[in-house]
Structure 1
């Protein structure tokens, strides 16, 4: 589980979305099938299957 989040954080740094040198993260509870992480007390990263994230995004944009 932690391996996925470390890879995502590295990718975010590599493409310039975040510029912090070090990161701390903690898992958040309360998700159904998604894994949620709070990164540096500032960012929330949600991990799930792409189709699930697309559907949720469409729903949230509509409402």
Structure 2
């Protein structure tokens, strides 16, 4: 973006039942979740080990 290092959160999900039959399709069956928020690494590096992530919910 501007030479800064940024941090965000993301998760890749798969359909476990479909994964047994077809791995690529199992990855396509579920959305990839990415946070809408980013943080400058400089702002969080001092308390990096104290950070906790919480999922607030997702509806299909």
If asked which structure has higher relative contact order (CA below 8 Å, sep 6+), I would say 2
- Per the normalisation by structure 1, the TM-score is 0.22
> Larger radius of gyration, structure 1 or 2?
2
Greater helix fraction, Structure 1 or Structure 2: 1
Greater strand fraction, Structure 1 or Structure 2: 1
- Per the normalisation by structure 2, the TM-score is 0.23
